[in-house]
A and B are shown apart, each in its own frame.
Chain A
Amino acid sequence: MFLRKVEITYVSPCLADPQKIRLKAELSDDITEVMPYLNATVKAAIYNHEAPNLTLSKEFRLITLYPRELTMIKALNTTDAWQVIDWLQELINDTYARRSEIAPDYRRKRRPHPLQLYSWLPRLNCKKCGEQHCLAFAALLFSGQQELKNCEPLFSHNYREQREVLLELAKALR
């Protein structure tokens, strides 16, 4: 087994949605080697080969993988988090086992889908950006007709995590 164990080391409520949790977990093994293969196979993954790190989502949860650590935000509870970690561990080990069949992708960015952008917006439909709702804002963001900075709530303290993710995703839009 490539990645033998994942151990949650920190849990706290999500800043933007206190009903959900964010967490950190330690990886028993360095997964740097598998990241380009994950980048090649995981849909909508954001990979930074220099750092290195790789961000991916599982439904509404966002996960960032580092060589010996991962972070997750918007998990429902610890049971949910453990289930996602299990899925991730399987994904990593399966990808590693199949690496001879996969062409590694070292490219830095992947263009995100508008719905992916939408999932990380505050989704308050406050119209402060001038759009009728956040989905329209996400579509325009994707097409380059809107800018992230126009989402006022996103830059408040409560949405720090989402902001970081969206800023990272927005790099891939340029």
Chain B
Amino acid sequence: MLTAKAKEAFNAFNAGFKEKGKLLYQGKYSSHAVRFRAMPAQREGKEKVAIYLDNAATTYPKPEAVYKAIDHYLRHIGASAGRGAYRRALEADGLVFKTRKLLGRLFNIADVSNIIFTSNVTESLNLALKGFLREGDHVVTSHLEHNSMWRPLKVLEKERNIRITVLPSPEGKALDPEQLERTILPGTRLVALTHASNVTGTLMPLKEVGEICRRYHVPLLVDTAQTAGVFPLDIKELKIDLLAFTGHKGLLGPTGTGGLYIAPGLEIKPWKEGGTGGASLLEHQPEDLPDRFEAGTLNVAGIVGLGAAVEFILEKGVGQIREHEKALTAYALEQLCQVPGLTLYGPLNAEERVGVFSINLEDIAPEELAYVLDEAYGIMVRAGLHCAPQAHRCIGTVQRGTVRISPGYFNTKEEIEALSVALKEIISH
């Protein structure tokens, strides 16, 4: 028997599902809707614990120090950074600098003035692409890009006639560095790549890419949304000229934080002008970084939280965090491969990927599967196209989408096992 609450949830879901089903799936999934109606009843009386496995979207929970730092700033400091000659405003300014410095340590950036704070990686990528690319430029990118890279490129293709070469990733495989080398032309102005796919978890061969870019004097822009904080990133070693990061994923900070590292000598046009707290007499944006790109009041609370998060990461060690991720990834791969009827996309080796898994279970709609996992088992995963349709074309799921499972630093093997058990129960039902 269904509980009243479960009945209500299913009725609400089915009402929306039918409408959505017609639009996306031509009603194909109505039979599955009937099938999983009984799922919660099967789980009746069983403990439902919350297992968060959507860390590729936003990590949760955050380190305790993050909550404390934000609370302390909002409660006891509260002033804008760089916007006052009184001690508290200067203290806020010092806290923003502290975060910049910690990020400098994390990415091996000596002059932290070259780290620009933004709201997220999307803003960072837009700033880099729209601020750097000019009329008719040639750009090399990949099929595994998120829309945060892909959409600005397509806008620039239309508005500035840029030429885009897209490197293939059949079945979600990493790009071929030799193929990249062949696509670099005399007019190539930028190589713009994700470090790891947010759909398949595929890691790109960044070191080889960096070597090639340096050899041909082509700047390299890297989207580190899925790797910053969980994968050692050294801009010098990897020869990265533009590093876009977000604060709320692997960096374990709050939403609304992110940034862009700009290598000295790269001319990027600011996309916004406004107050910087100093040099107010100037009618134009100051030339010096970071003020050149940081018009407007900064998200100080978020940046302070991000600072506490990066401090946590540096204390644990990114190498250690990556090892933890690899162990969890290897375990997840092993567990998922044992689920009957499960299709797993992307590399099957933990070395070649990050902790992001796209799956499908027989012909169950991803949204349906995610719903059952949440409602009946308390397991939170994401369903759909994950804002990366190009990647879905590579793995043949652009019409259907996938369920994305993304454990984070605070997840355990037991939680992965619980997911595996849930998937087996669902498919056997």
Chain A contact residues, CB within 8 Å of chain B: 7-13, 18-19, 21, 76-80, 82-83, 86
Contact = CB atoms under 8 A, between A and B. Distances in A.
Given A7-B87, A78-B277, 11 more contacts: A7-B90, A7-B94, A9-B90, A11-B90, A13-B281, A77-B276, A77-B290, A78-B90, A82-B93, A82-B97, A83-B112
A9 B288 contact: no
Contacts of A11: 85, 90, 278
Nearest to A12: B85
Interface residues of B, number: 25
Contacts of A82: 93-94, 97, 101
Contacts of B286: 19, 77
Nearest to A6: B94
| A10, A77, A80, A86 interface centre (most CB from chain B within 10 Å) | A77
A166 to B, nearest CB: 24
B291 interface: yes
Contact of B93 (A13, A18, A76, A78): A78
Closest 3 interchain pairs by CB? A82-B97, A76-B288, A19-B279
Given A10-B85, A11-B85, A83-B112, A78 B97 contact: yes
B288 A8 contact: no
Interface in B71-107: 81-82, 85, 87, 90-91, 93-94, 97, 100-101
B97 A79 contact: yes
B282 interface: yes
B108 interface: no
A68 to B, nearest CB: 16
A76 B288 CA distance: 7
A86 B94 CA distance: 11
A79 B90 CA distance: 11
A77 B90 CA distance: 12
A42 B101 CA distance: 25
A82 B100 CA distance: 10
Contact of B113 (A12, A13, A21, A83): A83
Listed residue (A13, A21, A76) with the most chain B CB atoms within 10 angstroms of its CB? A76
21 contacts: A7-B87, A7-B90, A7-B94, A8-B93, A8-B94, A11-B85, A12-B85, A13-B279, A18-B281, A19-B282, A19-B286, A21-B278, A76-B288, A77-B113, A77-B279, A77-B291, A78-B278, A79-B113, A82-B93, A83-B112, A83-B113
